[in-house]
Chains A and B, each alone.
Chain A
Amino acid sequence: MAIAFKTQESFRGDYSFRNSPEAVQRFPFPFHQDSYMYSVNMEPHGSGPVGSVFEHAFDIDEHYLAEIEDRRITLARDPQRCQSLPHMIDAEWDVVELLMTSLAQDYPEHFMLLRDGSHWTWINRPLNLRQSFIFGDAATLPCGPFEYITRQAQGDFVVMDQRDNNLFADCGMVTSQADWSLSFDLGMSFMEWHAPVPLAHELGIFERALKYLLMLQQGHPVRRLNWTMTVNPRLDTAPETYPEWGSDRASVTPQTAGDKVHLRVELQTLFRLPRSNAMLFGIRCYLASLAELATQPKWAARLHRVLNTLPPQLAEYKGLVRYQPLARQWLAAHDDGRELSLGTQPD
């Protein structure tokens, strides 16, 4: 079934981004209970419920065209949002294969992949692209293989080299990040790039996660959800452009909180890559304003309670502190204190 792509939507300037009711329905609301703490919440990622964001390996939704355009703008302004260390070339081709085969298989109305030995032809109908190339020969693509395909997929991607019983972020396309810098973090090990996250290290979260991921097998990807909040539906909340979006945090008022404050959920997926033995880390970003979330009453009430009980270090780290009281105030009107069912599904 073909997706109705929005065509005039923006994640900057006039911020015309809006979710359709269907998009709100399938939003990956992350809170199972009324308070939040970190956990190694990884689970198998395969085929999920039909219509959900978990149904396919890589989710495409109504915002596809707008997100691809936003990525194009960000890269034009700052090409270093996409970098790949030289030894990652095999991994880049692994990513090309994984993304192209998945998208063509899961969205046949929109993508097609024809293969004749190493002669491939990739068709991307929404973007009106047709590219013939030789798999393994970078000269037959208009840019590096990893950059080429990730310019056509929603969400950020980091490719990690596995060596020395560790994972290293040696390649990435990062234009919709929640405030971390690829230029700074490129080449860091798993523990190093997670260094700024408060509390989780003491809980042993990252040690367990690393051990688990080192044994990740081909054909058995996993996923988890992560979350933060953003003022305005802005994808490019990078440290690099902080001077552009930082003041948004101080711009929220009781009247605008419902429309400006967004819950930002990352669907993080991890795939073992076959040729390189590296690992693809997909970070797919979903935004929904408080007002949009409130169309599902349970979600607004639950988010209210999560924000009320959020440890201060987490609020600080997630950058919420300035507008947290306003968000809580706005959500309070949607929380009558009733008991909410466990789990994330709307009531």
Chain B
Amino acid sequence: MKAAPLAVVVRAVRELGPEIREFTLAPADGGRFPTYSAGSHVVVSLPIGERVHRNAYSLLGDPAATDEWRIAVRRQSGSRGGSQWLHQHARPGLALEISWPVNLFSLVRTARHQILVAGGIGITPILGQARELARLGASFEAHYAYRGAANAAFADELQALAPSRVYLRDSERDGHLDFGALLARRPLGTHVYVCGPQSMVDAAKIAAARLGWPPGHIHSEQFLAPAGGEPFEVEMRASGRRFTVPRDLSLLEAIEAQGIDTPSLCRGGACGQCELEVLEADGTLHHHDVYLSDAERASGRKIMPCVSRLEGRCLVLNH
């Protein structure tokens, strides 16, 4: 079921580094936001040109502050333009539409010790989690790796939350985080949360496996940006509608642009909500999600339209 969006307005913009900006959002009607759990994100609708792109951003502020929400965006070159657009256009007073908070990166409340690891802009959900753990008086430590002191966004805020439990690392100066050392000899009941570039998440998982950690104790969040690709045709079997998925829109966004109702949630290939059934695929399916099993991908009968595409002529969906 699609959630009714929240109307917000940009209240403030803060430069946090050469490529990083924090945006403070307030309810457009002057009311209050709902509260949320640490690790939650919102999906922001970005009117880029004639199309609407939707990108997910973690809520990094204090959930008790219901008059405003804070997100941070790093300008990525070579992306579909969402971060660029925000950096260029988001000024105080700009009206935007966002989703309700969704949490796909929540803390495990039965853990005996929590290790938070942030790489670069991955600090955004980690900051929220550190705040919650500090409030609960839980046992935790936070590690934040950034490339160059100028990019240490929110380091001060993180440090202030729990001075003795925060470890900062400038990878330019000190090299990459050694997960082998970080995860060794950790007591039973420890959970790890990693948010950062793919290479960092992979390194964490590899080191954990080598040390014998059960996979369920390593949690990660990555916002997979929908990959662009060559345009392809889509036929929606139920309505008979045919249209083209352009280069810079995801399959999901193209379906939505047609006014066709279809479920979605995280929009980043992780939650499974947008799954559609493939009836015919004249070409190769490129799966960029982390949800489908190998068998499901191989079957060619399912696709996650938020991030995956067809390389070929026409895709027929049972919808």
Contact A218 B101 (CB under 8 A): yes
Instruction: Report chain B residues within 8 Å CB of A219.
Output: 3, 34, 100
Is B273 an interface residue, CB under 8 A from the partner? yes
Contact B35 A161 (CB under 8 A): no
Contact A161 B109 (CB under 8 A): yes
Partner pick for B109 among A163, A215, A217, A220, CB 8 A cutoff: A163
Contact A276 B109 (CB under 8 A): yes
Contact B34 A276 (CB under 8 A): no
How many chain B residues sit at the interface, stated as a range, is 20 to 34
Instruction: Report chain B residues within 8 Å CB of A88.
Output: 109
Instruction: Report chain A residues within 8 Å CB of B109.
Output: 87-88, 90, 161, 163, 276
Is B216 an interface residue, CB under 8 A from the partner? yes
Docked Cα-Cα span, A44 to B37, in Å, equals 22
Is A105 an interface residue, CB under 8 A from the partner? no
Partner pick for A275 among B63, B100, B265, B272, CB 8 A cutoff: B63
Instruction: Report chain B residues within 8 Å CB of A87.
Output: 109-110
Is A164 an interface residue, CB under 8 A from the partner? yes
Docked Cα-Cα span, A218 to B272, in Å, equals 18
Q: How many A residues, CB 8 Å from partner?
A: 18
Contact A274 B36 (CB under 8 A): yes
Partner pick for B34 among A163, A164, A218, A277, CB 8 A cutoff: A218
Partner pick for B110 among A163, A217, A218, CB 8 A cutoff: A163
Contact A277 B1 (CB under 8 A): no
Is A162 an interface residue, CB under 8 A from the partner? yes
Q: How near does chain A come to B31, taking the closest CB pair, in angstroms?
A: 14
Docked Cα-Cα span, A164 to B110, in Å, equals 11
Contact B37 A164 (CB under 8 A): no
The residues in A between 26 and 59 inclusive whose CB is less than 8 angstroms from any CB of B are 44
Q: How near does chain B come to A196, taking the closest CB pair, in angstroms?
A: 25
Instruction: Report chain A residues within 8 Å CB of B35.
Output: 274-275
Partner pick for A217 among B63, B100, B106, B216, CB 8 A cutoff: B100
Partner pick for A220 among B3, B106, B108, CB 8 A cutoff: B3
The chain A residue sitting closest to B103, CB to CB, is A277
Q: Name, among A87, A164, A277, the residue most crowded by chain B CB atoms within 10 Å (CB to CB).
A: A277
Docked Cα-Cα span, A281 to B155, in Å, equals 39
Q: How near does chain B come to A155, taking the closest CB pair, in angstroms?
A: 24
The chain A residue sitting closest to B36, CB to CB, is A274
Docked Cα-Cα span, A291 to B35, in Å, equals 47
Partner pick for B216 among A164, A218, A276, CB 8 A cutoff: A164
Contact with B along A158-173 (1 / 0, CB 8 A): 0001111000000000
Instruction: Report chain A residues within 8 Å CB of B37.
Output: 274-277
Docked Cα-Cα span, A275 to B110, in Å, equals 16
Q: How near does chain A come to B92, taking the closest CB pair, in angstroms?
A: 26
The residues in B between 113 and 165 inclusive whose CB is less than 8 angstroms from any CB of A are 136
Instruction: Report chain B residues within 8 Å CB of A276.
Output: 37, 109
The chain A residue sitting closest to B37, CB to CB, is A277
Q: How near does chain A come to B162, taking the closest CB pair, in angstroms?
A: 18
Docked Cα-Cα span, A87 to B111, in Å, equals 9
The chain B residue sitting closest to A276, CB to CB, is B37
Instruction: Report chain B residues within 8 Å CB of A217.
Output: 3, 100, 102, 265
The residues in A between 217 and 250 inclusive whose CB is less than 8 angstroms from any CB of B are 217-220
The residues in B between 78 and 103 inclusive whose CB is less than 8 angstroms from any CB of A are 100-103
Contact with B along A132-170 (1 / 0, CB 8 A): 000000000000000000000000000001111000000
Q: How near does chain B come to A133, taking the closest CB pair, in angstroms?
A: 17
Is B271 an interface residue, CB under 8 A from the partner? yes
Docked Cα-Cα span, A324 to B34, in Å, equals 48
Contact B106 A277 (CB under 8 A): yes
Q: How near does chain B come to A140, taking the closest CB pair, in angstroms?
A: 17
Docked Cα-Cα span, A307 to B272, in Å, equals 39
Docked Cα-Cα span, A277 to B63, in Å, equals 12
Contact B136 A215 (CB under 8 A): no
Instruction: Report chain B residues within 8 Å CB of A44.
Output: 1
Q: Name, among B39, B40, B103, the residue most crowded by chain A CB atoms within 10 Å (CB to CB).
A: B103
Docked Cα-Cα span, A331 to B100, in Å, equals 49
Instruction: Report chain A residues within 8 Å CB of B272.
Output: 211, 215
The residues in B between 273 and 300 inclusive whose CB is less than 8 angstroms from any CB of A are 273
The chain B residue sitting closest to A94, CB to CB, is B35
Instruction: Report chain B residues within 8 Å CB of A211.
Output: 272
Docked Cα-Cα span, A90 to B108, in Å, equals 13
Q: How near does chain B come to A139, taking the closest CB pair, in angstroms?
A: 15
Docked Cα-Cα span, A276 to B37, in Å, equals 6
Contact B108 A215 (CB under 8 A): no
Docked Cα-Cα span, A309 to B295, in Å, equals 41
Docked Cα-Cα span, A247 to B249, in Å, equals 66
Q: How near does chain A come to B23, taking the closest CB pair, in angstroms?
A: 21
Contact B36 A90 (CB under 8 A): no
Instruction: Report chain A residues within 8 Å CB of B101.
Output: 218, 274
Docked Cα-Cα span, A277 to B100, in Å, equals 13
Q: Name, among B35, B109, B265, the residue most crowded by chain A CB atoms within 10 Å (CB to CB).
A: B109
Instruction: Report chain B residues within 8 Å CB of A215.
Output: 265, 271-273
Contact B100 A218 (CB under 8 A): yes
The residues in A between 63 and 100 inclusive whose CB is less than 8 angstroms from any CB of B are 87-88, 90
Docked Cα-Cα span, A162 to B102, in Å, equals 13
Q: How near does chain B come to A13, taking the closest CB pair, in angstroms?
A: 41
Contact with A along B251-287 (1 / 0, CB 8 A): 0000000000000010000011100000000000000
Docked Cα-Cα span, A88 to B136, in Å, equals 11
Instruction: Report chain A residues within 8 Å CB of B106.
Output: 162-163, 277
* Known A162-B106, A215-B265; 5 more pairs at CB < 8 Å: A88-B109, A215-B273, A218-B36, A220-B100, A277-B40
**9 A-B Cβ contacts within 8 A?**
A44-B1, A161-B109, A161-B110, A163-B110, A215-B265, A218-B34, A220-B100, A274-B101, A275-B37
Minimum-distance CB pairs A-B, first 8? A87-B109, A277-B37, A277-B106, A274-B35, A163-B108, A277-B103, A219-B100, A87-B110
Residues of A participating in the B interface, judged by any CB pair closer than 8 Å: 44, 87-88, 90, 161-164, 211, 215, 217-220, 274-277
